[in-house]
Amino acid sequence: MPCGRALRDIRSQLGVPDRWANRAHSAAVDHSPAAVVARLQPLLLAVHEALSAGVTVSAAIHAAHHWNPTADRHLDHQLVRREAMERLKPWGVHPEELSDPLLVRQLEFADISPGNLGLPMSGLILRTQTDVLRVWRSDDGELPAAATDGLRAFYRQAPSRQLQLDLDTRDDERPGPAHLALLWADTGGFLTRFDLVRPSGHLGRRVQVDWHVDLLPRLTLPAA
């Protein structure tokens, strides 16, 4: 399969504008649940392992200090997040090492702004060529309400079915990477929720969901 530079050379020789190639690339990406899970499976497995390790670390720290996790759930969740960040570092690439940002997986840990207080996992963002994945703790399996400009912008995207059918998109409406949320929860030292969700806009504070997949029974997890 031609590499990025070879494709650019071919397009140049044929006189094909880059915007047409970008449009073809966007249209070719399948945003259905099965396709997304298959495309992101290695990353999803890594996140599952990282969160599981974080749950274990948090439980060990609380046990060592004789702390009750329910007394400060934010601390419990932040300890999980901190361990997950360390475990997921191999998925990150320093910006100076990126020869082509569109072809290299990149991991970002965004700062938690005042608008995200109360969302312990709001600072964990993983980016691939085709998708942006935000990881949040969610006991009820619901996405955080669209209460900030940042969340509303993240939720604002066309449904996957529309992307498959809308082949005549204007240049200024070309879809970028898909926005996805990974929702997790734990009980008794084990993950009890690991859901992949694709939002498709919002009505006021209420988030509209394109699709929602329970990954725990679907992912082939390595033996312990």
Determine contact, residues 196/215, Cβ cutoff 8 Å: yes
In the chain, the largest separation of any two C-alpha atoms, in whole Å, equals 69
**6-20 per-residue burial string, b: 16 or more CB within 10 A, e: under 16:** eeeeeeeeeeeeeee
pLDDT for position 188: 87
DSSP lists the bridge partners of residue 196 as 182, 213
**pTM over the 0.75 mark:** no
Return the domain boundaries, the chain: 1-30, 31-214
Going by DSSP bridges, is the β-strand pair 131-137/106-109 parallel, antiparallel, or unpaired? Answer: unpaired
Span 97-147, pLDDT tens digits: 333 333 333 444 444 443 443 444 445 888 888 899 999 999 899 999 998
| 8 Å CB contact between 210 and 159 | yes
Residue 126 in contact with residue 47, Cβ under 8 Å? yes
Retrieve residue 201's tokens: 């806009």
